[in-house]
């Protein structure tokens, strides 16, 4: 399968699909759509709504029908809905879907930074990322990463989505601000205390309850400097990795400083999702990565202590 052909197909079709999905998410949010399902013990992880299920059904169906090249990829999706068996079981490229990232704030209406996101990766790195944040800005906000370019900016629904993205200037790493804010998540009841340890290094640790929305637009624009995540899932974290690498940084395992890859993952049965092992630090700034690795290199790599 030719990667450039696949990237062109994703760039052509995905923007309008995610824009449609965002419109549905905004509408469904007005109703009582909570679903009981996951039992990890983390409110952030266990939040699930009918919108997650509906949006995934739409995205999978659109990928199935829009271009046959997509069926030659594997699909990794956070939920179980959609015609998933139509896609390859064994393929070098994976299309990964998070229908709503930030489900808890979406469901509880505590903030408007939730997003719809899809990325393409192989076993080594991420090749394409698209994030649509329906309720940030007057008409939504986009983040797209492909080749060596990251763009982030407001949607304009009077124009085709692809046209809007094509007109956005690429973020320049040389002029992008370098925030000290670091988002922490996945440490269970230690998110806040570990954020305080990050702050003690001279950076600024931000636990989930203080996060203004999803990380992706904040990381792209430099409003956040990076993240420190325990056993990140394979549906959303790779987008942060992708953005950081394009902007001159990386995502690394804190215990050895090596670049994150996707050769190994494990099934978190409590949350019913695939995760990467260990603790990862992600930033566009190599010095920030070094600081986070030095801080967390001896922290436990076990997600659940009970």
Show binding-site residues.
Answer: 78, 98, 100-101
Q: How far apart, in whole angstroms, are the C-alpha atoms of residue 225 and residue 179? A: 5
Question: CA angle, 228 as apex, 224 and 231 as ends, to 5°?
Answer: 140
Q: How far apart, in whole angstroms, are the C-alpha atoms of residue 198 and residue 194? A: 6
Question: CA dist 260 to 2, 128, 249, Å?
Answer: 24, 16, 12
CA nearest 171: which of 198, 152, 158?
A: 152
Question: CA dist 259 to 173, 242, 247, 280, 298, Å?
Answer: 20, 12, 15, 9, 17
Q: How far apart, in whole angstroms, are the C-alpha atoms of residue 87 and residue 89? A: 7
Q: Which residues pair with 281 in a beta bridge?
A: 228, 252
CA nearest 231: which of 276, 266, 289?
A: 276
CB–CB of 283/292 below 8 Å?
yes
Give the other-Cβ count within 10 Å of 190's Cβ.
17
CA nearest 74: which of 57, 60, 92, 47?
A: 92
Residue list for the binding site for Mg(2+): 78, 98, 100-101
């Amino acid at each position: 399968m030719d990667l450039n052909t696949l990237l062109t197909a994703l760039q052509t079709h995905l923007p309008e699909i995610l824009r449609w999905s965002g419109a549905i998410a905004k509408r469904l949010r007005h109703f009582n759509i909570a679903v009981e399902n996951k039992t990890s013990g983390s409110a952030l992880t266990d939040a699930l709504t009918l919108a997650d299920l509906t949006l995934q059904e739409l995205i999978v169906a659109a990928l199935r029908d829009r271009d046959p090249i997509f069926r030659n990829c594997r699909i990794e999706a956070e939920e179980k809905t959609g015609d998933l068996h139509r896609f390859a079981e064994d393929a070098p490229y994976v299309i990964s879907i998070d229908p709503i990232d930030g489900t808890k704030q979406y469901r509880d209406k505590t903030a408007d930074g939730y997003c719809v996101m899809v990325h393409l990766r192989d076993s080594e790195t991420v090749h394409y990322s698209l994030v649509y944040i329906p309720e940030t800005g007057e008409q939504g906000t986009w983040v797209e990463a492909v080749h060596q370019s990251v763009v982030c900016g407001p949607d304009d629904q009077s124009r085709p989505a692809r046209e809007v993205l094509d007109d956005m200037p690429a973020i320049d790493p040389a002029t992008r601000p370098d925030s000290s804010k670091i988002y922490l998540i996945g440490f269970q009841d230690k998110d806040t205390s570990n954020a305080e340890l990050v702050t003690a290094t001279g950076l600024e640790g931000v636990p989930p309850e203080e996060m203004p929305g999803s990380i992706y637009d904040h990381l792209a624009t430099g409003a956040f400097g990076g993240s420190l995540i325990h056993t990140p899932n394979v549906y959303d974290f790779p987008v942060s990795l992708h953005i950081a690498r394009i902007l001159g940084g990386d995502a690394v395992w804190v215990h050895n400083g090596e670049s994150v890859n996707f050769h190994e993952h494990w099934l978190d049965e409590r949350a019913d999702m695939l995760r990467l092992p260990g603790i990862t630090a992600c930033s566009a700034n190599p010095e920030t990565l070094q600081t986070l690795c030095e801080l967390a290199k001896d922290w436990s790599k076990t997600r659940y202590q009970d």
